[in-house]
Amino acid sequence: MQPYELSLAAAAREIRERRLSPVELVDSVLDRIEQVEPHIAAYVSVLADQARRTARDAEREAVQGSYRGPLHGIPVGLKDLIDVVGVSTTASSRTRAGHRAASDSTVAASLRAAGAILIGKTHTHEFAYGLITPQTNNAWDHRRIAGGSSGGSAVAVASGAATFALGTDTGGSIRVPATLNGVVGLKPTYGLVPRHGVTSLSWSLDHVGPIARTVDDTALVLTALAGYDPRDPASVAVPGVGYRPHPDPDLTGVRVGVPRNYYFAHVDAEVAAAVRRAIAQLEALGARLIDVDIPMTRYIQAVHWGLMVPEATAYHQATLRTVPELYRADVRILLEAGELMGAGDYLRAQRARTLMRDEWARVLEEVDVIAAPAVPMAAVPAGQETVTWPDGTVESVSDAYVRLSSPANITGVPALSVPVGQDAAGMPIGMQLLGRPFAERTLLLVGHAYERTQPARSLAPVT
């Protein structure tokens, strides 16, 4: 096995026990990037020289006994919305040409302090305003979409071009690409991970979180990221806890909610079957299944768009008026549409969101987690714009992918996507676990318990 094939937890163990050096791991990942990047286009920029220098520093620290923890010497890719001092933050947009970050974002500083090594900046759908990431190809089939907007981060992790990565999630942008590429993605509770220094799409919906190969890896990263930062108005002070699940988790007594409505409607049959098999596995592990009704489903899309569109347009107001031609057409149209929305529409969306949060809180009093499909279908071919369901309903691809993930953004609850199989074409399928605010430990416990019953997942065979 090559070092780039190691999970974060396995690589950390090898580094801690001095069987692997950070230099060897970084060199292996950089070699892998050189091999696969022409096929996947996951990276905006690869910082090879900087990564090698940092790896040498990490190796010296390890020799001297200054081990910083499980992220020490581990290569990470950062979505190119996340500021790193002295490095360009392009947001995959021509409007950011020549930009250089003057300081680290909070999450970049946290990873630096934990000993992680930045390997490069990964592609996003322009300013995170989309579910496709057209620059990047799916790790399992280059003719299919990567998902978005954190497509570069998910593809890099799935292909071995990063040991872990960070993404952002405003309506599903961590969970969608993680699912479509067969890796794990976590959208934390709103306010748990600070967003200072991260380019915003919609400030009341934006989250930063990890994409990794396993649930265990995800927990290790979250432990480094979570914390209070007064520079983020939404940041919440939560008592310091570790998030890593017990090696032999027990689900006895855990109440798993299975939606009667919404989450299994207009979902591909193979996706639904795989997720129901995974839910049955949770029951076999001791969990108690409880049917639940998802509240206010008819308002989900309107509330999500009613919040996101005007907030995004407000953020881009100056640039949209001075250099609109520098935006991709799809993003510019959405930003221009936001100028047509009135304050009343935005306020109604905020009121509806408050009601939705209250109703979700009631549901989550009855169960510990809700288990459901992460997305309604596997990755579609690049260029496909719509999907037609068996009842004749036609839905845009972007609307389909965001439909099952946006409720967690509206309500702010944590959501974890975990791979649960592949369809007949070999494309990954994912299950989504949703829980109470700041109950990430429970989600990770359940996800890890399921994951331990499955064969180890391999990296995508990029060729």
pLDDT at 463 over 90: no
Q: Residue 242: what pLDDT?
A: 86
Q: How far apart are the first and last CA of the chain?
A: 18
SS3 content of the chain, % helix, strand, coil (to 5): 40, 15, 45
pTM: 0.97
Mean pLDDT calculated for residue range 171-176: 98
For 343-385, the DSSP string reads HHHHHHHHHHHHHHHHHHHHHHHH-SEEEEESSSSSPPBTT--
- Tens of pLDDT, residues 180-209: 999 999 999 999 999 999 999 999 999 999
Residues forming beta bridges with residue 289, ordered by sequence position: 256
Q: Are 432 and 372 in contact (CB under 8 A)?
A: yes
pLDDT at 241 over 90: no
**DSSP H/E element including 186:** strand 184-187
The pLDDT, as a whole number, for residue 122 is: 98
Helix (H, G, I), strand (E, B) or coil at 162: coil
pLDDT of residue 248: 84
Check the CA dihedral 334-339-344-350 and report its sign: positive
Instruction: Name the band, by pLDDT with cuts 50, 70 and 90, for residue 247.
Output: confident
Of the candidates 202, 205, 165, the one whose C-alpha atom is nearest the C-alpha of residue 189 is 205
Torsion over CA: 265, 266, 270, 274 (sign): negative
245-269 average pLDDT score:
95
Instruction: Assign residue 81 a region (left: φ > 0; alpha: ψ between -120 and 50; beta: otherwise).
Output: alpha
In this prediction, residue 265 carries a pLDDT of 97
What CATH architecture applies to the domain 3-299+343-452? Alpha-Beta Complex (3.90)
Q: Cα separation of 435 and 251, whole Å?
A: 15
Give the model's pLDDT for residue 239.
Answer: 81
Question: Residue 302 is which amino acid?
Answer: A
Question: Does the pLDDT value for residue 240 go beyond 80?
Answer: no
- For residue 49, count other CB atoms closer than 10 A to its CB: 9
pLDDT per residue over 20-76, tens digit each? 999 999 999 999 999 999 999 999 999 999 999 999 999 999 999 899 999 999 999
Distance CA 349, CA 208 (A): 23
Instruction: Kindly state the percentage of the chain with pLDDT values over 90.
Output: 95
The reported pLDDT for the residue numbered 334 is 93
CA atoms within 13 A on the CB side of 111: 29
What is the rounded CA–CA span in Å between residue 410 and residue 171? 8
CA dihedral angle for residue 362, residue 368, residue 370, residue 374, rounded to 10 degrees: 130
Active-site residue set = 79, 149, 173
Question: CA 78 → CA 157, 191, 313, distances in Å?
Answer: 11, 19, 24
Share of residues in the chain with pLDDT > 70 (%) = 100
Residue position matching structure tokens 């907030």: 311
Facing residues of 370 across strands? 257, 434
CA separation, residue 345 to residues 59, 96, 158, 206, 357 (Å) = 55, 30, 40, 20, 18
Distance between CA atoms of 365 and 97, rounded to whole angstroms? 48
Q: What mean pLDDT is reported for the chain? A: 96
- Give pLDDT tens digits for 336-360: 999 999 999 999 999 999 999 999 9
Q: Note the pLDDT of residue 317.
A: 94
Lowest mean pLDDT segment, chosen from 102-116, 240-254, 284-298, 312-326: 240-254
87 three-state secondary structure: coil
Mean pLDDT of 104-113: 98
Is residue 462 over pLDDT 80? Answer: no
User: Does 314 score more than 80 pLDDT?
Assistant: yes
Ramachandran region, residue 321 (left: φ > 0; alpha: ψ -120 to 50; beta: rest): alpha
Task: Locate 142 and state its tokens.
Answer: 């280059």
